[in-house]
Amino acid sequence: MAQDYLPLLIFVLIATVFAFIAIGLPSVLGPKRKNEQKLEPYESGIIPFHDARRRFPVKYYLVAMLFLLFDIEVIFLFPWAGALLPLRDSYGPLVALAPIGFFLLLLILGLVYEWSKGALDWE
C-alpha cells in the first residue's frame, strides 16, 4: 500500500525543492540596488498622503460576510440539482422538491430578517 504512494511522494518532494530554488535563488544571487524609487510604495512615485492601514467601516465587512454567507448557501443548490432527477424518479416530484423548498424558505427568511434589521441599508 505504501509503495503505491511512493511516486507521489517523490513528485511532491521534487516540486517542493524546485519551488524553494525558484524563490530563494534570485534573492541570493540577484543584485540588490536600492534607490529612492524602489522604496516608494506605488509605481507612480506619488508619495502617499497617509498610512495605507486605515480602518474600514464595519459596513464593508458586513456586506462581505453577507455575500459569503449567501454565496455558500447557493453552492448547496448545485448538488441538489444533480440529484433531482433520480430523486424524482424514485420518490416522486413532491419528495424531490420538498427539501430544497425548505432550504430556500430558510434562505428567504434569513434575507428578510437581515433586511428588517437594517443590515442591507447603506448609510
Distance (Å, whole) CA 48 – CA 65? 30
Task: Say which residue, 115 or 122, is predicted with more confidence.
Answer: 115
Q: Is the pTM of this model over 0.75?
A: no
Does the pLDDT at position 44 exceed 70? no
User: 21-39 pLDDT, tens per residue?
Assistant: 999 998 888 887 777 766 6
Domains identified in the chain and CATH numbers: 1-117 (1.20.58.1610)
SS3 content of the chain, % helix, strand, coil (to 5): 70, 0, 30
pLDDT at site 40: 67
